[in-house]
């Protein structure tokens, strides 16, 4: 009887602790979406349970390891590689608009690298570490607008902190009370998953995250003066190229007409930003040609 009562008391305090902790976490910094541009809404507050600094430090380590391995295998494009110069030129135009969606990104040490590989792939790690594979540029013959859309999409995953949010949610569902006691006692949430060698690259995002990255990516590319209609042609190219074998990018990015439909639905907002960047109006914009 006494034992039972004690257990109930522990349970009561544990759930109280959970409540207090979650309340504290949920009151972390909020990044309000800009008043103009696409209507992507606020990003989830779950992510505040994972310290951004730890995740970013872990991402930097993984990125550096990737670069070192690639360099050993002669697969890291040198600074004078024409495609790398092109990627860095595009990133210089896009990155000033990153802060519109995430003011903390001002302090990120952005980096753009090109890996020589047949893979049709690209990513941006938390903290702003961007990578493209030569496969995506060459196989899909991407024009600059399309490269900007891919880059915008990947940067958007980082800006909206989808990885951080994903880790937080996985910890909540997977590790439950252990994580809670660890969080309330030693260290913080996040340290456990990161300590276990959480593979930032291996994360796959939810459909909601992908839609969010499509819209926010299109938004920042348009602000930088890249045609957001390239998002449609990009997905068409991607679909055509992967009839037989799905591209690597597609294996982590659910494809389909729904995505094109969602981009179309938000196109006018993105076109307004693009027209503004081009010093014109939406009506005066030339037709988009493939």
User: Could you say whether residue 253 binds Zn ion (CB under 5 A)?
Assistant: yes
User: Quick one: 53 or 206, whose CB is closer to Zn ion?
Assistant: 206
Distance CA 190, CA 196 (A): 10
User: Quick one: 76 or 228, whose CB is closer to Zn ion?
Assistant: 228
Map the footprint of Zn ion across residues 172-231, applying CB under 5 A.
Answer: 210, 213
Structure-token pair, residue 33: 């979406």
CB of 164: closest distance to Zn ion in angstroms? 15
Phi-psi sector, 186: left (phi>0), alpha (psi -120 to 50), beta? beta
Query: Are the C-beta atoms of residues 277 and 225 closer than 8 Å to each other?
Result: yes
User: Quick one: 183 or 242, whose CB is closer to Zn ion?
Assistant: 242
CB of 132: closest distance to Zn ion in angstroms? 14
User: Could you say whether residue 112 binds Zn ion (CB under 5 A)?
Assistant: no
User: Could you say whether residue 93 binds Zn ion (CB under 5 A)?
Assistant: no
Q: Which of 56, 111, 146, 154 is catalytic?
A: 154
Q: Where are the alpha helices (DSSP H) in the chain?
A: 2-26, 52-72, 82-94, 98-101, 134-139, 144-159, 162-174, 176-184, 191-195, 207-223, 230-241, 248-252, 257-265, 267-277
User: Quick one: 49 or 213, whose CB is closer to Zn ion?
Assistant: 213
154 catalytically annotated: yes
Site of interaction with Zn ion (CB under 5 A): 210, 213, 253
Q: Catalytic residue positions?
A: 154
């Amino acid at each position: 009887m006494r034992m039972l009562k004690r257990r109930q008391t522990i349970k009561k305090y544990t759930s109280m602790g959970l409540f207090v902790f979650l309340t504290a976490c949920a009151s972390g910094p909020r990044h309000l979406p800009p008043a103009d541009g696409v209507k992507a809404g606020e990003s989830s507050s779950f992510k505040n349970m994972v310290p951004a600094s730890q995740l970013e430090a872990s991402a930097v380590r993984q990125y550096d390891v990737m670069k070192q391995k690639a360099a050993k295998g002669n697969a890291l494009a040198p600074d004078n590689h024409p495609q790398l110069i092109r990627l860095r030129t595009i990133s210089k135009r896009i990155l000033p608009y990153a802060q519109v969606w995430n003011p903390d990104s001002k302090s990120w040490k952005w980096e753009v690298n090109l890996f020589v590989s047949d893979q049709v792939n690209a990513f941006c790690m938390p903290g702003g570490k961007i990578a493209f594979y030569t496969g995506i540029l060459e196989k899909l013959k991407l024009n600059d607008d399309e490269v900007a859309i891919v880059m915008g999409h990947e940067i958007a995953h980082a800006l909206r902190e989808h990885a951080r949010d994903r880790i937080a949610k996985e910890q909540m569902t997977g590790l439950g009370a252990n994580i809670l006691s660890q969080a309330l006692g030693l260290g913080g949430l996040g340290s456990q998953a990161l300590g276990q060698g959480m593979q930032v690259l291996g994360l796959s995002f939810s459909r909601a995250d992908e839609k969010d990255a499509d819209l926010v990516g299109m938004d920042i590319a348009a602000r930088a003066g890249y045609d957001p209609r390239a998002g449609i042609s990009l997905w068409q190219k991607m679909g055509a190229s992967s009839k037989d074998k799905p591209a690597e990018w597609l294996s982590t990015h659910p494809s389909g007409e729904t995505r094109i439909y969602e981009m179309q639905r938000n196109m006018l907002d993105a076109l307004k930003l693009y027209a503004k960047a081009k010093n014109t109006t939406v009506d005066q914009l030339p037709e988009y040609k493939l």
